[in-house]
Amino acid sequence: MEELVLDGRIKEGDSFALRPDGPETPHPSETGQTIKRIDRLVIGVREIQFSELSTWLKEMAGVAEKIAAYGPDSTPRNVGDAG
């Protein structure tokens, strides 16, 4: 997927499929039925577990707070301060 973005074959506004997915297991009491546990997102052949995505988002939030601590006035603030 990243190759398509980097070569310009997927541009802003182009459509692509982001599909929730996960393992299917046989239903314990209903013959021929399964239970699907959605635990990841899939784009093409790439996938990311929700747990890994959560970790990445928390890390990015921490970095964003550190960046925001250096406001437009270039005066460092303590993270968590209202302004």
Q: What is the pLDDT of residue 47?
A: 92
Instruction: Assign 76 to helix, strand or coil.
Output: strand
pLDDT for 1: 65
Strands (E), 1-82: 19-21, 24-26, 34-36, 40-43, 46-49
Instruction: Find the mean pLDDT for residues 62-83.
Output: 73
**Domain ranges within the chain, ordered by starting residue:** 2-68
Instruction: List the alpha helices (DSSP H) in the chain.
Output: 2-6, 50-68
pTM over 0.85: no
Question: pLDDT (tens digit, 9 = 90+) per residue, 4-53?
Answer: 767 777 777 877 778 999 999 999 999 999 999 999 999 877 899 999 99
Asked if residue 50 lies in contact with residue 40, where contact means CB atoms within 8 angstroms, the answer is yes
